């Protein structure tokens, strides 16, 4: 019994959607639901883990807008029907993994049956960002409870607070305009990996596993400095490491999941280690048994 990932979709931005995080998120949500063979009305909880939105929207959370534009139980309460609860989670590059933890909790308690997690980032447009460094993209996954597979079985987390020295982003006045600025230290990926190794080892220790027992490591960010460090520290050969989208941000982990699913690698694996690292520095790891 456990939480399984039943639908995965990633949508890349085009010239027209490069400033439309919301539009990308809606496209990814619809594609993931279609992949899982689910109607929008089946969604109980929608969690958005994306960070950089259209016009740097501050309120409401983006998740209700994704819910509305995806046609997911958006109307007033109706007797005999179910509603949807939507909210945002922000945890840097570990946002999707954090959302998976939250989804697993509500599925495990059978509070709900279906959770959609979506992550998207795009330049806010209108000249509201200074040198936005990420490619516009969105990813979404559909999580459900199954009585036949272990699914997500374990999570671990680790923080190494650096007050934003390695990675920070904020919106503030610059030359008389409120603009988004993103700073990434050249060593960020390596520092994120050093942080992420801690929860990854804890998950392995929790289950008495060694590097040889891991069939796949699905991770983000996809920067070579991150993946190489993870491979070295966990003694994993390169062909067992799946990362995708070095220029993606929160959606990178979902892109890695999508890449892992190609050629049935995800479904045929016995032990899959999820690892994410991000600003904070904060990192998480989980064991997934499809």
- Residues of this chain, 112-141, that bind another protein according to CB under 8 A: 112-114, 128, 135, 137
State the first-to-last Cα distance of the chain, in angstroms, to the nearest integer. Answer: 11
**Shortest Å, Cβ 204 to another protein:** 18
Partners of residue 220 on adjacent β-strands? 276
The 3-state DSSP class for residue 279 equals: coil
When asked if residue 55 is in the footprint of another protein (CB under 8 A), the reply is: yes
Contact with another protein (CB under 8 A) among 38, 153, 198, 209: 38
Closest CB to another protein among residues 40, 290: 40
**Shortest Å, Cβ 235 to another protein:** 26
In this structure, are strands 282-289 and 151-159 parallel, antiparallel, or unpaired?
A: antiparallel
Contact with another protein (CB under 8 A) among 4, 17, 29, 86: 86
When asked if residue 65 is in the footprint of another protein (CB under 8 A), the reply is: yes
Q: Which of 71, 67, 73, 153 is nearest to 118 (CA)?
A: 67
When asked if residue 188 is in the footprint of another protein (CB under 8 A), the reply is: no
**Shortest Å, Cβ 81 to another protein:** 7
Contact with another protein (CB under 8 A) among 2, 30, 92, 221: 92
Binders of another protein among 143-182, rule CB under 8 A?
A: 144, 157, 159, 161-164, 167-173, 176-178, 180, 182
When asked if residue 63 is in the footprint of another protein (CB under 8 A), the reply is: yes
Neighbours of 206 (CB within 10 A): 14
Looking at 203-211, 212-220, 238-246, 268-276, which segment touches another protein (CB under 8 A)?
238-246
When asked if residue 224 is in the footprint of another protein (CB under 8 A), the reply is: no
Between CA 69 and CA 115 the distance in angstroms is: 17
Contact with another protein (CB under 8 A) among 16, 81, 148, 238: 81
Q: At residue 129, what are phi and psi to the nearest 5 degrees?
A: -135, 140
When asked if residue 279 is in the footprint of another protein (CB under 8 A), the reply is: yes
CB 132 within 8 A of CB 94: no
Contact with another protein (CB under 8 A) among 5, 259, 273, 276: 259
151-159 sheet: strands from edge to edge: 151-159, 282-289, 272-278, 216-220, 241-242
**Shortest Å, Cβ 72 to another protein:** 7
Q: Which of 238, 240, 227 is nearest to 275 (CA)?
A: 227
- CB neighbour list of residue 72: distance below 8 Å, 6 or more residues apart: 29, 40, 41, 43, 46, 84, 116
When asked if residue 266 is in the footprint of another protein (CB under 8 A), the reply is: no
Compute how many residues bind another protein; rule: CB under 8 A: 101
Contact with another protein (CB under 8 A) among 17, 29, 73, 195: 73
Between CA 96 and CA 278 the distance in angstroms is: 11
DSSP character string of 106-120: HHHTTS-SEEEEEEE
Q: Which of 274, 278, 253 is nearest to 161 (CA)?
A: 278
Contact with another protein (CB under 8 A) among 3, 4, 5, 13: 13
């Amino acid at each position: 019994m456990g939480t399984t990932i039943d639908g995965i979709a990633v949508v890349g931005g085009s010239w027209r959607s490069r400033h439309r995080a919301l539009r990308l998120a809606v496209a990814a949500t619809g594609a993931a639901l279609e992949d899982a063979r689910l109607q929008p009305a089946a969604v109980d909880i929608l969690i958005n883990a994306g960070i950089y939105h259209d016009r740097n929207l501050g309120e409401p959370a983006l998740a209700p807008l994704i819910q509305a534009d995806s046609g997911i139980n958006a109307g007033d309460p109706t007797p005999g029907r179910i509603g949807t609860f939507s909210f945002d989670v922000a945890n840097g590059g570990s946002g999707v993994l954090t959302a998976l933890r939250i989804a697993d909790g509500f599925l495990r308690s059978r509070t709900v049956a279906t959770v959609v997690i979506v992550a998207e980032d795009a330049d806010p447009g209108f000249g509201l960002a200074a040198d936005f460094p990420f490619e516009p993209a969105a990813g979404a996954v559909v999580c459900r409870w199954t009585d036949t597979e272990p699914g997500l079985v374990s999570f671990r987390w680790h923080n190494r607070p650096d007050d934003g020295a390695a990675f920070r982003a904020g919106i503030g006045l610059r030359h008389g305009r409120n603009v988004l600025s993103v700073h990434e230290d050249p060593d960020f990926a390596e520092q994120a990996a050093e942080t992420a190794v801690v929860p990854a080892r804890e998950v392995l220790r929790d289950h008495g596993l060694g590097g040889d027992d891991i069939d796949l490591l699905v991770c983000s960010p996809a920067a070579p400095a991150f993946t190489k460090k993870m491979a070295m520290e966990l003694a994993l050969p390169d062909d067992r490491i799946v990362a995708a989208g070095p220029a993606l941000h929160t959606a990178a982990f979902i892109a890695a999941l999508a890449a892992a699913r190609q050629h049935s690698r995800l479904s045929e694996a016995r032990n899959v280690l999820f690892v994410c690292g991000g600003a904070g520095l904060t990192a998480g790891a989980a064991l997934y048994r499809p």
